A and B are shown apart, each in its own frame.
Chain A
């Protein structure tokens, strides 16, 4: 049975429990679900922030996440996959991103979720801008995120 990923790019919040339930409801072949939630922290490099604003590239965001979702589906035996990424203004404590993977066994679910998050960080066209007492500034990309994504490259 072919599995299609659910990908949503949205301004609104999402319900993690509801998204997990959507992948497991009414089926008995799923033995493992892994969910990763990225949440807005209240500080960036020790500096308190009031909020993040995420800019994205409409069209490409869906396409790029879709390509990585398809790769995850081809590399791991998944029975379900959901990726949700928010844009707009997000306050500390609020959800930013969600990856849910469902599989028969835990290893595929864990690995596919980690693979997707590593690629989302470096390849999905989103940019975070932070608001602090000093004003607003764009968050810089981190080298260790590039290294995390590079380890999944097939040699």
Chain B
């Protein structure tokens, strides 16, 4: 699946997007945050406060407990400040 990062999450991770293949026991958005955090210091820094990170699956907002199976694109970003 494709993972995208925006705003300071993108800056901290150091890349805007990548393709990842998490193991089968990574089932939810929260699981994916935990798994990504273990991939290196930049990820651990980006996700150090997982509760403030927002997520979207295939362009729709989702909660941390949302299942990721079948997702084509998952995005992580800070609370939005548009408008």
Contact = CB atoms under 8 A, between A and B. Distances in A.
Interface of A: 38, 54-57, 59-60, 63-64, 85, 96-97, 117, 120-129, 138-141, 145
Interface of B: 4, 6-8, 56, 59-61, 75, 77-83
Nearest to A97: B83
Contacts of A122: 79-80
A85 B81 CA distance: 12
A25 to B, nearest CB: 27
- Where chain A touches its partner, the secondary structure class is mixed
A78 to B, nearest CB: 19
B81 A64 contact: no
B7 A60 contact: no
A122 B8 CA distance: 17
B79 A141 contact: yes
A127 B75 CA distance: 14
B59 A63 contact: yes
A57 B79 contact: no
Given A140-B79, A145-B83, 12 more contacts: A38-B83, A54-B82, A57-B6, A60-B75, A64-B61, A120-B83, A121-B82, A125-B56, A125-B75, A125-B80, A127-B8, A141-B81
Contact of A128 (B6, B59, B77, B82): B82
